[in-house]
Amino acid sequence: MDLHKSRTIPEPALSLLRRAVTRLLGGGIDVRALLARQADAEFRRHCTVADKVQFTASARCLNHSGDRDRIHIGRGVVMDGILACHRHGHLVIGDYSFVGRSRIYCVDRVQIGRGVLISDNVAILDSNMHADSAVQRFESAVAWVEDGRFPDVYTGIDYAPVVIGDFAWIGFGACILKGVTIGTGAVVGAGAVVTADVDDWAVVAGNPARVIGEMPVHVPDVSDLSDHPGVHSPPDFLE
């Protein structure tokens, strides 16, 4: 069997692909800008979005609840990542926060404060997402593939709210697990796995994350932003 030949794209399809690429490039179409506009439209369909929010071509919103009020994105947020909110979840991202090419999973409650920096490859999860039972995990996988049933992320699965305080910085590749509160101005080092609360202005690193230092207490002045509605009072689903 000629494996190379079997993988060759048929000439009619290849010709069509060439013409499509030539049309895009020759027409001066900015594909990334087009994708960013599509992301903007997607988020506005599935979330409540404040003013001056920027969505990149990589941003995605997966609102499995179907209720756009369950996700709120504050003023001036820059979104480059993926939000996945399940049917009982509530997810809030505070004003002027940045979400890199990361993923936030919300089954219960995820609250991110103002001015938070979330770097690339970060995972934030308020749930284990899968059952402890290997039998249940396998049955769920089979049901998804064979019957088209989306996995149940609630039955027999532990979850607890995640809160990230104002002005925190979550480093590249960090993982924030269920039930964790990260304090104001705290810094989570690259690759850290956070399983317990982090105090205000603390610096943590490692797996599991441990305190390795502290940041100077420099609270940004937001007084000049007081004229903008929502800056001081994002929705709080944790009350």
178 pLDDT above the threshold of 50: yes
Preceding amide of 208 cis, omega within 30: yes
- CA dist., res. 9 & res. 13, Å (int): 7
Single pTM value for the model:
0.80
State how far the alpha carbon of 120 is from the alpha carbons of 44, 123, 157, 190, in Å.
23, 9, 27, 10
pLDDT in tens, 130-155: 888 899 889 888 988 888 888 778 88
Alpha-carbon span 145 to 186, nearest angstrom: 41
Express as a percent the part of the chain with pLDDT over 70: 82
CATH number for the domain whose boundaries are 9-126+161-215: 2.160.10.10
- Give 100-117 pLDDT, tens digit per residue: 999 999 999 999 999 999
Q: Where are the domains of the chain?
A: 9-126+161-215
Residue with the bigger pLDDT between 3 and 167: it is 167
From the candidates 64, 88, 130, 228, which is the catalytic residue?
130
What is the phi-psi region of residue 143: left when phi exceeds 0, alpha when psi lies from -120 to 50, beta otherwise? alpha
Cα 66 to the chain's mean position, in Å?
17
Which helix (H) or strand (E) element contains residue 212?
Answer: strand 210-214
Residue 65 confidence (pLDDT): 87
Q: What per-residue confidence (pLDDT) applies to 34?
A: 79
- Convert the pLDDT of each residue in 9-66 to its tens digit: 666 776 777 666 666 666 666 777 778 888 888 888 899 999 999 999 889 999 998 8
Query: Would you say residue 1 has pLDDT above 50?
Result: no
Position of tokens 């989570």? Answer: 188
Q: Can 232 be counted among the known catalytic residues?
A: no
Confidence (pLDDT) at 226: 59
The structure tokens listed for 51 are 């003013």
Edge to edge, what strands does the sheet with 193-194 contain? 60-63, 82-85, 103-106, 123-125, 175-176, 193-194
At 156 the pLDDT is 80
Contacts (Cβ under 8 Å, ≥6 apart) of 63: 46, 47, 70, 71, 83, 85
Q: What is the pLDDT of residue 204?
A: 98
Residue 184's identity, in one-letter code, is T
Q: What is the mean pLDDT of residues 162-182?
A: 97
Determine the Cα–Cα distance for residues 109 and 47; give it in Å rounded to an integer: 15
Convert the pLDDT of each residue in 179-223 to its tens digit: 999 999 999 999 999 999 999 999 999 999 999 999 999 888 877
